[in-house]
Amino acid sequence: MRAHSLVPAISSQERRTVTGYWRAFFTVASLSLLLPWMSGKAVFRNTLTAGRSFWLSAVCWSVMFTAFMVALTLTTVGNVLVTMSMGPLLTAIIARVFIGHTIPKRTWVAVWVAGAGIVYMYASQLGSVSLAGTLVALCVPLAGATNWTVTQHAHDQGHDVDLMPAVWAGGLISCVATLPLALPLQATGHDVLLLGFLGVFQLAVPCVLSVRCAQILKAPEISLLQLLEVIFGILLAWWGAGEEPGAAVLTGGALVIGALVVNEWIEWRQRT
pLDDT in tens, 53-96: 999 999 999 999 889 888 888 888 878 888 887 887 788 888 88
Residue 36 vs residues 30, 46, 128: alpha-carbon distances, Å: 11, 11, 47
DSSP state of 245: P
Q: Please, what is the end-to-end C-alpha distance for the chain in angstroms?
A: 42
Residue 46 vs residues 76, 129, 166: alpha-carbon distances, Å: 40, 44, 11
Decide if 167 contacts 207 (C-beta within 8 A). yes
Is cis: bond before 206, omega within 30 of 0?
no
Instruction: Grade residue 4 by pLDDT with cuts at 50, 70 and 90.
Output: very low
Single-letter residue type at 66: T
CA 52 and chain centroid, separation: 22
Give the pLDDT score at 207: 77
DSSP state of 183: T
Single-letter residue type at 56: L
DSSP state of 243: -
Decide if 118 contacts 90 (C-beta within 8 A). no
Give the pLDDT score at 71: 87
SS3 content of the chain, % helix, strand, coil (to 5): 80, 0, 20
Instruction: Grade residue 170 by pLDDT with cuts at 50, 70 and 90.
Output: very high
Give the pLDDT score at 269: 80
Residues 202 and 9: their CA atoms lie apart, in Å, by 26
Residue 80 vs residues 5, 7, 143, 229: alpha-carbon distances, Å: 21, 25, 14, 11
Each residue of 127-150: pLDDT tens digit? 566 778 888 999 999 998 898 888
Which of 17-26, 109-118, 160-169 has the largest mean confidence?
160-169
SS3 per-residue string spanning 42-97: CHHHHHCCCCHHHHHHHHHHHHHHHHHHHHHCCCCHHHHHHHHCCHHHHHHHHHHH
Crossing angle of the two packed helices 77-84 and 131-156, in degrees rounded to 10: 30
Mean pLDDT of 4-16: 45
- Among 56, 19, 21, which residue's Cα sits nearest to residue 153? 56
Residues 255 and 208: their CA atoms lie apart, in Å, by 30
Mean pLDDT of 201-218: 75
